[in-house]
Structure 1
Amino acid sequence: MASAQVTGSTVDRVRTDPPAGRSGRARDWAEIQERMLVPLYQDVYRRLEVGAATSLLGVGCRSGLALLLAAGRGAQVAGVEADAGLRELAAARGLQVSPGGRAEAVARSAHPVPRPAHSLVTVFEQPPAPALVARSAERTLPGGHLVVAAWGPAERCESAAVLEVARRHAPLDAPDPFAASGPGALESLLAAAGTRPSGSGRVACPFAYAGLDSAVRGLLSTGLFDRAEEAAGAALVAKELAEALHPYLRPDGSVRMANEFRWAVGTKPRG
């Protein structure tokens, strides 16, 4: 992971140079932010007993860490990711991730022929868009499972105060990160996509960073601040984000925020 630049005992310098390009943001995601969601991935895979009999499609798989974890359990994995920079990083991890379409490339699989449908499809994108969930259901085998995930309630997520920076500057039509956090929201998405809600879980996903600089870079790599940057400018958003993170600084200069994520699974009917 990229190291933070620490000055003194509590605060490190936030860079004021122009924001990273798309490739830089992709690398920040892979090196800083992606690991924060490992507890979510592991909880889903454990509860659904992902293993050698699983054919998994990760929709919006980013740089592929979730796919690697599933492959490590013996699953046949495939990925879809729109961002070219993230796909390049997935390729560097030995994964073949496609930009989408009817045939996704299969990575780390004993069956090299792309599958039209899968026994497990995951949508770990935040927040999950109804249209994306519906398209993902089409790629789920009858009797298979579709998983969607979202932030937990804002009052259980310390990062909610930080995400307020994005809400304050983004246009009114920007997605709300907590839109699917309410009771039954994920289950409603699954039902609308034609699956039968059949389970759910809650998992702690603390966001922990080496320092303030890495925290800002990691959070910006999520894409949740993109609309705010377009409207208010990247420099202002980065400055206010750093200020919002100060309450979560620790004496050693690290940053830690407790968060909860929710996930739900739907089963696609047979016949």
Structure 2
Amino acid sequence: MDPHARARDWAEIQERMLVPLYEAVYARLGVGRGTRLLALGCGAGLALVMAAARGARVAGVESACPERLALARERLPDGETRPRLTEGCAPVAEDASYGLITAFQPVGCADGDAEDLTALLREAVPSARKGALVVLTGWGPPECCTTSSVLKVAGKLADPLRGTRGRRAALEDVARRAGLRPEGSGRVACPFGYADADSAVRGLLSTGLFDAAAAATDPVQVAKEITEALQPYVRADGTVWMPNVFRYLIARV
């Protein structure tokens, strides 16, 4: 699939699914004027736009998808306090004054994602002031996440002998490995809702969680199996509705 089209699908279909998570975290932490925020895995920048609308000064890192980063730059145009949006390593502020670091890309569905997040956090922590807060996010229990049954397609096709993913890494373990001190947590309902099954397939493919499956088999077959797995969640009017719960952890530098 064309990477620009997939990035656009992410921005137009999938990214908004986590808006309740962004809102809950920002409200709990009082994000607003005076907040200096660094977003790891900022995607197409929706969470940054929401923080900036509250008055926060924002910066973002997106190393996985430069096409998403380009969209974030479109959403956050030049100004007197232009956001720092970078690809690769976390931007280190000269005065190390970020008071909040967020990692809203949920871990627990792709091999090595917890280790990747740990490494990124270690790079980012020097950019934070002493006592700064860090927010990590992960998928909730499988029984609370109906999308888990669809995500099993990725594991089954990428590695037929194993099928589903292994045990999800605890966010507390990730935080401690990055030298952070866990302080609190919460859960947020983030249902995935789509206009139709085609939109659902495009949105889910845009996450990148099915890339290994597409490489191991046939992308057309991956899309077909996702469509079949979605059938229990297609409503009478053709829309798709999948309730999910995500967990977030608040840690301190």
- The TM-score with structure 1 as length reference comes to 0.82
1:15 aligned residue: none
Residue type of the alignment partner of 1:246:
Q
Instruction: Show the counterpart of 2:243.
Output: 258
> In the alignment, what sits opposite 2:206?
221
Q: Which residue of structure 1 aligns with residue 110 of structure 2? A: none
3-state SS of 1:124 partner: strand
Cα distance between partner residues in 2 of 1:150 and 1:168? 21
Is 1:93 paired with 2:75? yes
The corresponding residue for 1:124 is 104
Given candidates 122, 132, 148, the residue that maps to 1:160 is 148
Q: Does 1:179 align with 2:161?
A: no
The yes-or-no answer on 1:133 pairing with 2:115 is no
Q: Which structure shows the higher helix fraction?
A: 2
Cα distance in 2 between the residues matched to 1:215 and 1:169: 19
One-letter amino acid of the structure 2 residue matched with residue 62 of structure 1: G
Q: Which residue of 1 aligns with 2:66?
A: 84
Task: Judge conservation of contact 1:126–1:177 (CA < 8 Å) in 2.
Answer: no
Residue 52 (structure 2) pairs with residue 71 (structure 1): yes
Instruction: State the distance in 2 between where 1:67 and 1:208 align.
Output: 22
1:234 lines up with 2:223 in the alignment:
no
TM-score, normalising length: structure 2: 0.87
Gaps of 5+ in 1: 1-19, 105-112
Give the partner amino acid of 1:198: E
In structure 1, C-alpha distance between the alignment counterparts of 2:162 and 2:104, rounded to whole Å: 21
Check conservation: 2:90, 2:123, Cα contact below 8 A: no
* Maintained 8 Å contact 1:39/1:205: yes
Count how many residue pairs are aligned between Structure 1 and Structure 2: 237
**Does the 8 Å contact 1:103/1:114 carry over to 2?**
no
User: Counterparts of 2:138 and 2:95 in 1: how far apart (Å)?
Assistant: 27
**Equivalence for 1:11:** none
Summarize the Cα distance change of 1:196–1:260 in structure 2 as closer, same or farther, 3 Å threshold.
Answer: same
How big is the shift at 1:173? 9.8
Mapped to 2, the partners of 1:214 and 1:159 lie a distance apart of: 15
Q: Which residue of 1 aligns with 2:197?
A: 212
Q: Is the 8 A contact 1:50 1:75 kept in 2?
A: yes
Q: Deviations over 1:178-213 (max 9, x none)?
A: 723xxxx11121122111111111000000000000
Tell me which amino acid in the other structure corresponds to 1:47. R
User: What is the DSSP-based 3-state SS (H/G/I as helix, E as strand, rest coil) of the residue aligned with 1:126?
Assistant: strand
Q: CA RMSD in A?
A: 2.2
Q: Does 1:246 align with 2:231?
A: yes
**Which amino acid letter does the alignment assign opposite residue 90 of structure 1?**
A
Where 1:224 maps in the other structure, the secondary structure is coil
Instruction: Give the C-alpha shift of residue 134 in structure 1.
Output: 2.8
1:115 Cα deviation from its structure 2 partner: 5.9
Residues 21, 188 of structure 2: 8 Å contact kept = yes
Residue identity opposite 1:92 in structure 2: E
